[in-house]
Structure 1
């Protein structure tokens, strides 16, 4: 008598390798840090007077909590470069990283909401993004050399928007699942 294996049966080794160990690895990389990339300037300053800046927003115990915290802070518009109101901060990107600086999720800030970027699916796609961002950063460097700081900032932002898809492999599946949830849209 022979027994047919069920398609849903997995050995304990498969469960450990596919589910338990990756979850433990991710837990070692907590808490998650949320920051906002943007530009700061003084009241009445021109576009050339703006400076790129990263502002820490906070920490979270899970990707879901990090997304919620970022969305709340952006919706309220309460991300500031300094306590006084003389500096203006214009948020452009939200970045969520783990304690090892691995990218968990990132998105562009647009009209008071965050447009989260879908993580890359494979190494080939990641390689294409790295090549394209290198090209954009080279063009930004050349624009800075010409004194065209506005074009350089825009090119750097385009590169950052592409790099937002380069989610750390340990977080890709979780980030993809999180973006499928209705409240993340």
Structure 2
């Protein structure tokens, strides 16, 4: 006589390995930190004295809430407030990182909208992104004009926004499938 397992019930071991342990591990990585990479200056007319700056925007308890908070901050235009603020700040890339500063999700900011970047699907794809970003940074180092160098660095940073930590890749891909992430 053969015992047929029911598909509706799972063993305690399956529940622990599939649900409980990943949730516990993920909770150790929280809260998620939101920051904005951009160009800061003290005078709007002086592009020569502008500089790159990362501005912390806050923390959230979940990736979903971090995406919503980032979009809300950007839409309200308060992406550069607090003790590290500058009178003139042009946001370029929004970052969501975990407690260990591993990338959870990132997006390029264009026309006041966050274009969340699809995470690299594999380690091979991540290596090709690193290669291309390194090439762009090398070109930026050799550029004679500061504006050209900055544009190349931001193109490299936009590519690197796809270098989501392997732990967060599936979560980030799932988040980008949701309608509110678009």
Secondary structure at 2:27's aligned position in 1? helix
2:167 corresponds to which of 166, 170, 173:
170
1:44 is aligned to: 45
2:63 paired residue number = 63
Q: Give the 3-state SS of the residue equivalent to 2:108 in structure 1.
A: strand
What secondary structure does 1:78 align onto?
Answer: coil
RMSD of aligned alpha carbons: 2.1
- State the alpha-carbon separation in 2 of the partners of residues 86 and 126 from structure 1: 34
Residue pair 1:81, 1:89 contacting (<8 A) in 2 also? no
Matches within 5 A, 1:105-184: 105-143=105-143, 146=144, 148-184=145-181
User: CA separation of 1:131/1:150 partners in 2, compared to 1, >3 Å: closer, same or farther?
Assistant: same
Do 1:120 and 1:166's aligned partners in 2 also have CA atoms closer than 8 Å? Answer: yes
Distance 2:164 2:109 in 1: 18
What are the ranges of 5 or more consecutive residues in structure 1 without an aligned counterpart? none
In the alignment, is the contact (CA less than 8 A) between 2:40 and 2:86 conserved in 1? no
* Structure 2 residue aligned with 1:75: 75
CA contact (8 A) 1:22 1:170 kept: no
CA distance 1:114–1:91, shift in 2 (3 Å): same
User: What is the TM-score normalised by the length of structure 1?
Assistant: 0.88
Structure 2 segments unaligned to the other structure (5+ residues): none
- Matches of 1:86 and 1:12, distance apart in 2: 54
TM-score by length of 2: 0.89
What is the aligned residue count?
180
